[in-house]
Amino acid sequence: MDSEKLRLLVKTVEYGNLSQAAKSMGYTQSAASYSIQSLEEELGVILLHRSKHGMQLTSDGMLLMNIVRDCITNIDKLYTTAHFIQGVQVGVLRIASFSSVSVTCLPWIIRQFHTAFPNIKIEIISGKGTYGEMEEYLLSGRVDCSFITLPVSPKLHCVELRKDPLYLILPTSHPLAALTRPIRFSDLTNVPFIMPAKEKNNEIMYLCKKNNFEPNVIFTMYDDLSILGMVENNLGCTIAPELLVKYFHYRVAVKEIESNPYRTICLAVRNGEETSPLLNAFLTSVQSNFAFSNFLGRTTDHL
């Protein structure tokens, strides 16, 4: 079976559009249509149907999709391992990363890895940047590894990279900004909060629940940097990780929280699955280069 047909199927599902999938792989529309039709004839099932939402999997296609992804992963692993045995370092590495890692340390990590392995093609998937997406991308076989935070599915094996402290972020003019002690949750009654969207605020809501605190949420947003911008403009406060607040320079007050909460950033792979030499090389590179001082570009005046 031609693995390129399988890749085209996956791209079509991801784009929801055969024309875009064909363009991304350098096919003409007619060649892509023929390839999908040929794959369906080879398997004896209809994989795709056209709806008002674009090209979508049929029920049979849904049953086969995870197997298709596994086939692609294993084919890539086969060739990558063979190339490493021959001393030829080529292949494809697929990585999922949530937003605060993607905009801070990941560029540094990729630069170091690319210097050592210049012929490796790297695909980075972020989606909306939610932790749930990062886990799902890995479990579905769409990526080889994923940056993620604890806790995770028992089906994943995690290498711990960093305990990332969480801080209260306030407008500089807020009365709490002048306090010299750590902030208590009892200080935050009726303080307006700007929160990450529901899928991105797991550790924040867990922290609030642990402290019997119900935040007064007035805005929710997906973009971490937009939230910091809202705080800077005196629209509320938020809780954010050190990874963001030390890297990006916003005119905000960054205050320690009582009990010193943190999130644990990990690099995850699928549990019980033998890793390829390429993935092992990346894991080693990440562990070597995931030092905060390596990629710390800018610091805040208020931490």
Q: How confident is the model at residue 274 (pLDDT cuts 50, 70, 90)?
A: confident
Whose CA is closest to 158, among 137, 135, 142? 135
Q: In whole angstroms, what is the distance from residue 223 CA to residue 293 CA?
A: 24
Q: What is the number of other CB atoms lying within 10 angstroms of the CB of residue 267?
A: 22
In this structure, the strands spanning 54-57 and 145-149 are unpaired
Say if residue 61's pLDDT is above 60.
yes
Say if residue 300's pLDDT is above 50.
no
In degrees, to the nearest 5, what angle opens at C-alpha 207 toward C-alphas 201 and 210? Answer: 135
Element (H, E) at 216: strand 216-221
Tokens of 135: 């886990």
Residues 94-120, mean pLDDT to the nearest whole number: 89
- What separation in angstroms does the CA of 243 have from each of 73, 104, 165, 214, 225? 31, 7, 8, 25, 12
- Domains annotated for the chain, with CATH where assigned, are 1-88 (1.10.10.10), 164-263 (3.40.190.10)
Whose CA is closest to 74, among 274, 260, 246? 274
Say if residue 265's pLDDT is above 90.
yes
pLDDT for 121-154, tens place per residue?
Answer: 899 998 888 888 999 999 999 999 999 999 999 9
Note the pLDDT of residue 303.
Answer: 38
125-128 contacts: CB < 8 A, separation 24 or more? 125/94, 125/95, 125/96, 125/97, 126/96, 126/97, 126/98, 126/99, 126/102, 127/96, 128/197, 128/199, 128/200, 128/222
Q: Answer for the pair 75, 83: CB distance below 8 angstroms, yes or no.
A: no
Phi, psi of 150 (to 5 degrees): -70, 150
Residues 157-162, mean pLDDT to the nearest whole number: 93
Say if residue 291's pLDDT is above 80.
no
Q: In whole angstroms, what is the distance from residue 182 CA to residue 192 CA?
A: 19
pLDDT for 162-183, tens place per residue?
Answer: 999 999 999 999 999 999 999 9
Q: What is the number of other CB atoms lying within 10 angstroms of the CB of residue 190?
A: 5
Q: Answer for the pair 232, 250: CB distance below 8 angstroms, yes or no.
A: yes
Q: Is 233 or 50 the better-scoring residue by pLDDT?
A: 233
Say if residue 82's pLDDT is above 80.
no
pLDDT for 195-207, tens place per residue?
Answer: 988 777 788 988 9
Element (H, E) at 293: helix 292-295
Note the pLDDT of residue 301.
Answer: 36
Q: In whole angstroms, what is the distance from residue 109 CA to residue 33 CA?
A: 39
What is the DSSP code string of 14-44?
A: HHT-HHHHHHHHT--HHHHHHHHHHHHHHHT
Element (H, E) at 167: strand 156-171
Lowest mean pLDDT among 49-58, 81-90, 145-154, 268-277: 81-90
Note the pLDDT of residue 145.
Answer: 96
Residues facing residue 162 across a β-bridge: 265
Confidence (pTM)? 0.70
